[in-house]
Structure 1
Amino acid sequence: MPGIGYESVVVRKLRVEDAAQYRAFRLEALRAAPTAFTSSYEEENAKPLSATIERLAATGRPDDAVVGAYYAGRLIGIAGLSVPLRRQERHKATLFGMAVAPHASGCGIGKVLVRQILQIAASVDRLTQVGLTVSEGNLPAERLYRSCGFEVWGREPRAVIIDGRPIAKLHMVRMLDRPRPV
């Protein structure tokens, strides 16, 4: 969609009332790009809307967040942050569920979402790093994450198997407590 620019996009934390729209967007992303995600369309589609509401409510998980990017009032991108509850893991978080609508791809929306997640992460007390996984061969996503300061620290062969095909995942991390490389 020509004309979408990151400067005209509104990014905000999703609320419980956004659950149906978020669920529909996420399901479409899972259906359209199954190798990009660890979750499958079939498993997620089988879950009731109440599971999505619980995720957005984040009851008992005050540092978790799911953000949405809106253009002209329409959801065009999503990303989430999950912070472990166990004390010995509370220094790290995971960026999950990153997706941008195909018509908005290449417009800088992904970078806006990742930066918003990193900003939220930086505000969480004692959080020093954010990790993620990206499917090997998903070069646009890998380039995006690298441009936001993430570095590959490992490769997991056969991390997921989709339609009998093994997909490796690259594990990436962005340290919050050191200056970002220029």
Structure 2
Amino acid sequence: MEIRQLNPTDAEEYLSIRLEALKDSPYAFASSYEEEKNQTAEKYKNRFNAPTNTFTFGAFEDSQLVGVVTLVKEQLYKLRHRANIVAMYIKPEKRGNGIGKALVSSVIEKVKNIDGIEQIYLTVVTTNVPAKKLYSSCGFEVFGKEKRALKFDNTYYDEEHMVLFLF
């Protein structure tokens, strides 16, 4: 398995796994398949090419993208010490093999090389027990719970807010 930051040549494959994630786990993302199905790979080519405050990592097995995670640095002056993990997804048939831990570890290592970032935040649907265990095993701690954070097909989902303090 190879973990690396995605570049413009990965845009098509990223778009494909992103749409798969939204279809496979609609309750786990604020965005929906319907909202993103008409996106083009060009959006991600531009994002992966530009010097940015967003970093997307991919896990590859046999040159196939099997997992992704994105880190977004906060931009507001008073929040510049923070970053957020978003859009984490592992293909269902690849879950439970350490790919998620490798991706989160890569993000944490990246953050340690970004001057000024002191803490990383994420949210996770409370029913996603494997993801909650993964994040806890990486040092993230729950600091709050948001009831009815997401609503999909007339069902509400609660989310836990987690943080990892680096110092």
Q: Return the TM-score normalized by structure 1.
A: 0.88
Task: Identify the range of structure 1 (63-72 vs 109-118) with the bigger mean alpha-carbon deviation.
Answer: 63-72
Which has the larger share of strand? Answer: 2
Secondary structure class of the residue paired with 1:46: coil
**Partner residue, 1:33:** 25
Which residue of 132, 151, 160 corresponds with 2:122?
A: 132
In structure 1, runs of 5+ residues without a counterpart are 1-8, 178-182
The question of 1:20 aligning with 2:12 is answered: yes
- Counterpart residue identity of residue 83, structure 1: K
User: Which structure 2 residues correspond to residues 6-17 of structure 1 after superposition, within 5 A?
Assistant: 9-17=1-9
Cα deviations by residue, 1:85-122 (Å, 9 ceiling, x for unpaired): 22211100001111111111110000000000111111
Distance in 1 separating the partners of 2:166 and 2:67: 23
RMSD across aligned C-alpha pairs, in angstroms? 1.1
**Partner residue, 1:52:** 44
Secondary structure class of the residue paired with 2:85: strand
**Partner residue, 1:161:** 151
Distance in 1 separating the partners of 2:48 and 2:35: 18
The question of 1:43 aligning with 2:29 is answered: no
Secondary structure class of the residue paired with 2:104: helix
**Mapped contact 2:119–2:163 kept (Cα < 8 A):** yes
Secondary structure class of the residue paired with 1:80: strand
- Counterpart residue identity of residue 89, structure 2: A
Distance in 2 separating the partners of 1:81 and 1:31: 22
In structure 2, runs of 5+ residues without a counterpart are none
**Partner residue, 2:60:** 70
The question of 1:141 aligning with 2:122 is answered: no
Which residue of 72, 77, 85 corresponds with 1:82?
A: 72
**Partner residue, 1:3:** none
* Identity score, percent: 37
- How many equivalent residue pairs? 167
Distance in 2 separating the partners of 1:102 and 1:167: 20
